[in-house]
Amino acid sequence: MSQQNNIVSIRNVSKAFGKHSVLHEITLEISAGEIFGFLGPSGAGKTTLVKQLAGLDTPTEGANFLFGDKMPNIHLINKIGYMAQSDALYNELTAKENLEFFASLYGLKHKARKKRISEVMELVSLTDDLNKLVSNYSGGMKRRLSLAIALLHQPQLLILDEPTVGIDPVLRKSIWDAFVSLKENGTTIIVTTHVMDEAEKCDRLGMIRDGKLIAVGTPNMLVQETKASSIEEAFLIYGGA
Ligand SMILES: Nc1ncnc2c1ncn2[C@@H]1O[C@H](COP(=O)(O)OP(=O)(O)OP(=O)(O)O)[C@@H](O)[C@H]1O
């Protein structure tokens, strides 16, 4: 794999909050155009790691490089779309007003802004709810709106922290179809999940347990290597069960 293909390079990253060690010596390369999933139980350290990749936190040891530059780096903001685990939306505004606010932060001009807003809302099936107050949105609708915002500026790298929590299976499928078409158009996607059927859809998976990267590979490879019958069983075997 050539060096410039690696959009993300995590080099020997550890993180501690006070005495609490949360990430242990993680090293990993993620290449352009792949859907990479971090799979692990609650508290494993997934959010801590992807926050660093989004430039919102720093490691205690080691370093993260995105597009060849050390993070955090303000100049990379336009290349990254980040969707946090809890929605960062203005509840007292409509969805459209929220989108317009973020679009202006990204410097999208009026005509392009209008076009992108309708494209991203179409993608998350919220076109009919564009003018609704976010306070009247359900939890799943808020997740989808957050995703739409992360997609607004057509980032080369999407970092999505549990993007489909609270979203029903039918919509979940349509959102994953959207991820695949974004990937086909060259977007690199990093997603955290603890849902096994989502893990199967990733090109490669990094299994995280207790802050350690216990296995990396394609879903098929991880299952075959452990002679497991499912990703879930493979995870347990890598975790020492
Ligand atoms: N700012 C912080 N200060 C102290 N401890 C923290 C902080 N942020 C995270 N942690 C701790 O780090 C550990 C990993 O949390 P993290 O949110 O990264 O896990 P996760 O794998 O994303 O889990 P979940 O799926 O539940 O979000 C947890 O024990 C958490 O309590």
- What CATH number corresponds to the domain at position 176? 3.40.50.300
| Cβ–Cβ < 8 Å for 237, 209 | no
Whether 19 lines ligand 1, by a CB cut-off of 6 Å, is: no
- What pLDDT does residue 4 have? 55
Mean pLDDT, the chain, integer: 93
Whether 85 lines ligand 1, by a CB cut-off of 6 Å, is: yes
Q: For 151-167, b where at least 16 C-beta lie within 10 A, e where not — what string?
A: bbbbbbbbbbbbbbeeb
CA distance linking residue 154 with residue 79, whole number of Å:
8
Cβ neighbours around 140 below 10 Å, total:
15
Give the tens place of pLDDT for each residue, 11-61.
999 999 999 999 999 999 999 999 999 999 989 999 999 999 999 999 999
Q: What angle do CA 120, 205, 15 make, to 5 degrees?
A: 95
Whether 17 lines ligand 1, by a CB cut-off of 6 Å, is: yes
Q: Enter the tokens of residue 73.
A: 């780096």
pTM: 0.92
- Name the 3-class secondary structure at 85: coil
Q: Give percent of the chain above pLDDT 90.
A: 76
Residue 220 pLDDT more than 80?
yes
Question: Which of 198, 141, 197, 191 minimizes the C-alpha distance to 163?
Answer: 191
Q: Give how many domains the chain has, as a whole number.
A: 1
Domain containing residue 78: 3-238
Q: ipTM of this predicted complex? A: 0.95
Cβ neighbours around 229 below 10 Å, total:
9
Whether 54 lines ligand 1, by a CB cut-off of 6 Å, is: no
Distance 190 CA to ligand 1 centre (A): 18
Which residue puts its alpha carbon closest to atom 13 of ligand 1? Answer: 43
- Under the banding of pLDDT at 50, 70 and 90, the label for residue 2 is very low
